[in-house]
Amino acid sequence: MSDPIQKRLSTDLSGNIPKPDDAQGRAHASVAREILAEIGSAFARANEKVEAAFRELDRRKRALVAHRQGPRGPAWNTEQRAAVDAFNAQRNNAASAIWELRVHREALGMRDHRRLEEEWSLPPAESER
């Protein structure tokens, strides 16, 4: 299997430092730096997406718990179902965000995902109880 792109690019950058009079070399190095910067930005956005998904998941969990502890009126069952559905939908969003982050990590050569799984473990799906 070939080396990850960031390793190839960094090797190119370090091994082919352009001479001041080599316009093509400077252009290549500039493009390579832009690509590396975009790879880093995409990775950061994937991390931020996971963080935002878990913040929203936590908010929906707190809303679900508050609803369950609140008074039970005629619309309670409908509201409960809506709160459970919202929590489970956000749980699915968080799972997708984790998967996307995992793909980014693998593209960058990071194969050990234990820390990712420890830090971002999904709570179980909720039921209407």
Model confidence pLDDT, tens digit, residues 80-95: 999 999 999 999 999 9
For residues 101, 104, 106, 107, the Cα torsion angle rounded to the nearest 10 degrees is 170
Residue 128 and residue 88 in contact, taking contact as beta carbons nearer than 8 Å: no
Rounded Cα gap, residues 120 and 106, in angstroms: 17
Encode 23-36: b = buried (16+ Cβ within 10 Å), e = exposed.
eeeeeebeebeeee
Average pLDDT of the segment spanning 93-102: 97
Mean per-residue pLDDT of the chain: 86
- pLDDT at res. 7: 54
**This prediction's pTM:** 0.75
